Amino acid sequence: ISDQELLELSEQLYAADGNRAAHGDIVLDLQHQVTSAEASAGKDYAPQRLFQHVAEARLFSKPTFSGLLALLDNYERMTGRSEALTAQEEREEEQFLAAVFSTRVMATLTSFFLAKGLYPSADAFRADLKDMWFGLYSRSGGAALDSSGFEHVFHGEIKKGKVSGCHSWVQLYELEKSGQLNYLSYSYDGAWPSFPDVLALQFRWSSYLKSVGSVLLGSSPEFDLALYTLCFKARPDRLCHVSLGGEAARIQTYSWTNSFYGDGQRFVASAYPVSP
């Protein structure tokens, strides 16, 4: 997959994302911008909430958003504690994937991967995506099957006393709404006048600090999943240069190297937009 193909396909995914937030659907109060030196201090520069308004009725009624929300209460945030997948949670995963794969965004990515010969069929790609994102592995040295790429990126985890992952704006909004997240400051607000935008921020989840976290703000769940999967397949473990609405963006992915699925395939370890 060439650099030019990445730029072109990311723009196609961007154009296909009809479920993303529109102007006015999300209103933020960013308050204080910190320097990189200030970011790690964990000081609260923001007395007000980050999310002043989210058009829940318009956005969260869409199948991929409602599917993501159904998944967010399935995870044990502390590493070292096993994830137990119930039959109901398995159904919720399948319902989410069915919703995602019925969108133009994922159809665009699927067509590209099949044309490149990466998969023999759409069903094979869907099965592999489920394994790479939802397959369980251990972030606790084998003590427990306590993590997955999806949990790390879209839900977030607590590891060694700090927030790890947590790169979904929907999860941040839900945590702040429930009183679990205290927004501290931001360090980067992207150049995009519409959604999705890139936001780098600092926050505490309960008492646990995230000194720099970044999200695609206002994107749909299927867009996040498709863009991160594209970069994970095309540029694993390094910067992936993409284009969103004519603006350059960079995605960093990491693959899990301590355990595998299938024939030596690697799970997703992390994926997020990189801020300057």
pTM score of the predicted model: 0.97
Catalytic residue among 130, 152, 155, 177: 152
pLDDT reported for residue 222: 98
Among 250, 253, 270, smallest CA distance to 198 is for 250
152: annotated active-site residue: yes
SS3 content of the chain, % helix, strand, coil (to 5): 35, 30, 35
Scored b (16 or more CB within 10 A) or e, 38-64 reads: bbeebeeebeeebbeebeeeebbebbb
pLDDT reported for residue 256: 97
Mean pLDDT of the chain: 97
pLDDT in tens, 97-140: 999 999 999 999 999 999 999 999 999 999 999 999 999 999 99
Catalytic residue among 155, 159, 167, 233: 167
151 DSSP assignment = I
32: annotated active-site residue: no
210: annotated active-site residue: yes
At 39, the amino acid letter reads A
pLDDT tier for residue 212 given thresholds of 50, 70 and 90: very high
Report strand pairing: 181-189 vs 265-273: unpaired
Q: Return the H-helix or E-strand segment holding 267.
A: strand 265-273
pLDDT for 40 beyond 90: no
Catalytic residue among 159, 210, 233, 241: 210
Identify whether the C-beta of residue 153 lies closer than 8 Å to the C-beta of residue 134. no
